[in-house]
Amino acid sequence: MIFIRALLIASLLCLAPLDATAAERLFVKAKVIAADPLSPTVKRIRFKLPKKYALRPAQFALVRVPSEFLQSWNARYGTSHKDLERPYSFASDPKRLPAAEFLVQLASPPPGKDVPPGVASTYMHGLKPGDTLEVGEAMGNLYEADSGTRPIVLVAGGTGVAPFVGLLEHWFRTKLNRRREILLFFGARERRELLLDAQFTRWAATQRNFKYVPALSNPAPDDKWTGATGFINTIVDRHFQTNINADVLMAGSPRMMQETLKVVTAKGVPAKQIHQDPIKVAP
């Protein structure tokens, strides 16, 4: 009995440092190169990863918020956060490694609620060139959708467009659009939130078989918007008169994804042709 207990303690002592090392290995240190505003609430964070970081197009990774930031956050807002990690999608083609990008929306308090803003997004919006960012291993398999032959329909809301920026860049580079049609439906509230609109418009003009359908749900009066108006799921619904024969990839708020899922399912897209990242990722 004593022997078994001793063996157990010994094995635990051996395992503890091994586990810690394994957990530490999951995160790497990246160096922030630039942090540029793309809209009043979204920043593009460009950073440099270590040389051997493994990344496929449209993957995401956990970002770890440093404990010093959490301590001052807890002191300021009376919260008790520790070990906080949040997923963010890579908005860049892996071909650009070691450079990579995230598009980060600052999570504001819900209207009428006296609560703190989002912790991780506030931290990310405070990053400056030269800062260190802790990034976990890349996860997700949206890129697998490029193995078929059907047209591809991308549906994005807000920063949900992030994985598709890198994916499109990758697809155009590898000439996937020579053999498959690609349609990007991108929804925002008003024009200034239509991230990277100029880049998508340019791609639509220069890349074969690529169509871009931007839509605003609540255009501002001075937007002078003449494009599609409404939530992006309704735009997808109106666009296709008949059944959709395509692979569908979607990314955005849980609500937007639920509504889009209803539309594409009603238009005959089988579940195996619908691709999305998990809505929640456990750290």
Ligand X SMILES: Cc1cc2nc3c(=O)[nH]c(=O)nc-3n(C[C@H](O)[C@H](O)[C@H](O)COP(=O)(O)OP(=O)(O)OC[C@H]3O[C@@H](n4cnc5c(N)ncnc54)[C@H](O)[C@@H]3O)c2cc1C
Query: What does the binding site for ligand X look like in residue numbers (CB under 6 A)?
Result: 60, 86-89, 102-105, 107-110, 113, 115-121, 159, 162, 277-281
Give the nearer residue to ligand X in terms of CB position, either 63 or 236: 63
CB 210 within 8 A of CB 180: no
Which residue lies nearest ligand X, judged by its C-beta? 118
Give the nearer residue to ligand X in terms of CB position, either 118 or 227: 118
**β-strands 210-216, 182-188 pairing:** parallel
CB 159 within 8 A of CB 42: yes
The minimum distance between CB 213 and ligand X, in angstroms, equals 21
Give the nearer residue to ligand X in terms of CB position, either 91 or 244: 91
CA-to-CA separations, 156 to 24, 113, 122, 132, 251, in angstroms, rounded: 33, 27, 23, 29, 5
The minimum distance between CB 51 and ligand X, in angstroms, equals 24
Residue 114 region, left (φ>0) first, then alpha (ψ -120 to 50), else beta? Answer: beta
CB 195 within 8 A of CB 42: yes
The minimum distance between CB 189 and ligand X, in angstroms, equals 15
The minimum distance between CB 117 and ligand X, in angstroms, equals 5
Give the nearer residue to ligand X in terms of CB position, either 156 or 244: 156
Neighbours of 189 (CB within 10 A): 15
The minimum distance between CB 8 and ligand X, in angstroms, equals 38
Give the nearer residue to ligand X in terms of CB position, either 92 or 105: 105
Residue 252 phi, psi dihedral angles, 5° rounding: 165, -155
